[in-house]
Structure 1
Amino acid sequence: MRLRRLLAGAVGTVAAADLLDRGLRAKAGELSPALAGAQDTYRWRGFDVAYTEAGDPDRPDVVCLHGVHAAASSREFAGVFDALAEDYHVIAPDLPGFGRTDRPPVAYTSSLYEEFVADFVSDVADDPVVVGSSLSGAWAAIAAKEADVSGLLLVCPTADTGPRRPWLRALLRSPVLGAAAFDALTAKPSLQYFDERDAFYYPERVPEGLVDYQWQTAHQEGARFAPASFVGGYLDADVDLGAELRERDCPATLVWGREATISTLAAGRDVAEDADTRLVVVDETRLLPHAEQPAVFLDAVREDLPRLEDH
């Protein structure tokens, strides 16, 4: 009798967790575009990849690749997108598995994103400057080996988030328990805690509406699959980032928040030294200097963007 009650309780708990997850996804509704501009779709290996473009198509191209976390999207570039579009043709995709792009339960890996970046840059842009944030910086550096890129502008780039954690990836991918764990990870208090602890130096600089959008994007169908690979360490590029950048023909600049904690300035100095490349440090910012101090960021990297007089 006791075993029967325990089994009944377990079944009830699983059913409740599944019902809660379905309710949260219904509440989130359809995700609106993260950025203002023309909305388009790039078909790639079965994915419908959503991207936004703005600015004069005859101007030099700038491709913005967002970083990776549980609620990532091209919304990361909201602070600089319009300003860049005044002078350039700016293109910002939601990476496979994130934002308004398809999120099937495939095996997300670093090589998948490396190949996506190379194909997207080649097919959608024309010899662009690529702005890559966090892991996207490493993927952009690798993609530039094959794709035509006029420059790399990498914000707190990293190729290593730690050892592989297959059990954690398996947990988050599991049907009911994984969904419940991801719902807890992406609750609004959890998202706000991450933004205020790691992404931004000053909590009051977290853009209005950002947490709400992060919550909504993290509660779309299939939202946990790509982040499961991220927390499991499967999105780390198998390269020495400094050596990889040193081998590229195009110029590269690194931008670091002085107070960054996830990928520290000390690590940034090491990469810059190994790559023999320029390092720009933005004071009073952490992981997202382009989001926390967009005007300061743009002033600091202006010389790394295409010269309009050359076009």
Structure 2
Amino acid sequence: MNKKLGTAIFLTGMTTLTIHIINRLQFSFSTVKNILSCPNNKYYEWRFGKIRYIKKGSGTPVLLLHDLTPGSSSYEFSLLIDSLAEKHEVYAIDFLGYGLSDKPNITYTNYLYVQSVIDFIKTIIGRKTSILATGDAAPVGIMACHNDGEVIDKVVLINPQSINKLNQIPNKQTKLLKFLIDTPILGTLLYNLQTTKESYKKIFLEEYFYEPFHIKDEVLLSYVESSHLPDYNAKFSFASFTGRYINANIIHALKEIDHSIYILYGDNKKDIQTIVDNYIYFNQSIEAFPIKDTKHLCHLEAPAKVMEQINILL
């Protein structure tokens, strides 16, 4: 009996060690390209950690808010920044828990990101600022307008998250999933399986891009790198995202704010027309414009088409 117990303990230990080594190797291999590094990197010392940002250009300020899906970062706007900087003072941030920003072991929420945006505008930009926000960052922009409208000018939403999905709150299943991902060894393995280059390629093919040949290796590797820097801490925002802690009901805010709000959407994104119609239903002043032959990341797939609309709106 003691021999069997000893063998079981030995095998469990070896399995745990093997998984740990695999995890460490994946984190190391995923960050060797250094794609997200930039000579213009700056850091805002916020109360929950350092927020990395890039500043470029001069003119009326525009703050770029990347999506909150796994692997997202300000790289998402890399093909827009130079064009925007011709007429605007452009700020592109990595949200806490993403990209090159700090990734503390906390529960990430919509309110956390809203506060970080408002504080960033007040402390770093110092002027009324327009916002360009993608996907799950769209409700961050909406709630920032509602909570402190004096610091926000215009709002442009790119393929905003469905209001119905935003209304989904954490339940027993999603709380358990967050708990599993947060665990040191097994959770890290589960996270790594979801953030491989092959996993990102699949989601780009199915949801993010309309034309498969537009998917470049560097784009995929930027997502892999973002989701593995600096180490396993990168999984904590993913755990909160999966657990639905980043969701927020924005209906009340949508009804009350009177800012100029525009929606740019990929005309081939699934269910996008219903999503856009729902936003307009709660705020009749919202104007929406399709980006032809694109899906979710239209600004990364067809930046010229998106810039054409942004130049008109801003």
Q: TM-score, normalised by structure 2?
A: 0.89
Amino acid at match of 1:124: I
Identical amino acids, percent of aligned pairs:
22
Distance 2:205 2:124 in 1: 34
Measured on the aligned residues, the alpha-carbon RMSD in Å equals: 1.9
Amino acid at match of 1:154: L
Structure 1 counterpart SS, 2:64 = strand
**Conserved 8 A contact 1:118-1:144:** no
Amino acid at match of 1:38: N
Structure 2, unmatched stretches of 5+, are none
Query: Would the alpha carbon gap of residues 151 and 37 (structure 1) be closer, same or farther in structure 2, given more than 3 Å must change?
Result: farther
**Which residue number in structure 1 is paired with residue 244 of structure 2?**
233
Q: How many residues align?
A: 300
Structure 2 counterpart SS, 1:265 = helix
Query: Would the alpha carbon gap of residues 96 and 31 (structure 1) be closer, same or farther in structure 2, given more than 3 Å must change?
Result: farther
Amino acid at match of 1:155: I
Amino acid at match of 1:127: K
Tell me whether 1:266 sits opposite 2:274 in the alignment: yes
Deviations 1:183-227 (A, max 9, x none): 111111011111111111111112440111211221122110001
Q: Trace 1:1-311 onto structure 2 (pairs within 5 A).
A: 1-29=3-31, 32=34, 34=36, 38-56=40-58, 59-125=59-125, 126-145=127-146, 146-147=148-149, 148-158=151-161, 160-161=165-166, 162-164=168-170, 165-220=174-229, 221=231, 222-240=233-251, 243-261=252-270, 264-276=272-284, 277-305=286-314
Structure 2 counterpart SS, 1:224 = helix
Query: Would the alpha carbon gap of residues 28 and 231 (structure 1) be closer, same or farther in structure 2, given more than 3 Å must change?
Result: same
Distance 1:28 1:267 in 2: 34
Query: Would the alpha carbon gap of residues 282 and 136 (structure 1) be closer, same or farther in structure 2, given more than 3 Å must change?
Result: same
Distance 1:248 1:20 in 2: 49
Distance 1:28 1:35 in 2: 14
Deviations 1:29-57 (A, max 9, x none): 4784738562211111131111011112x
Distance 1:74 1:265 in 2: 26
Structure 1 counterpart SS, 2:78 = helix
Amino acid at match of 2:106: V
**Conserved 8 A contact 1:259-1:265:** no
Larger mean CA deviation between 205-214 and 32-41 belongs to: 32-41
Shift of 1:27: 2.9
Distance 1:227 1:37 in 2: 27
Deviations 1:115-137 (A, max 9, x none): 11121122222211100111211
Amino acid at match of 2:295: R
Query: Would the alpha carbon gap of residues 54 and 300 (structure 1) be closer, same or farther in structure 2, given more than 3 Å must change?
Result: same
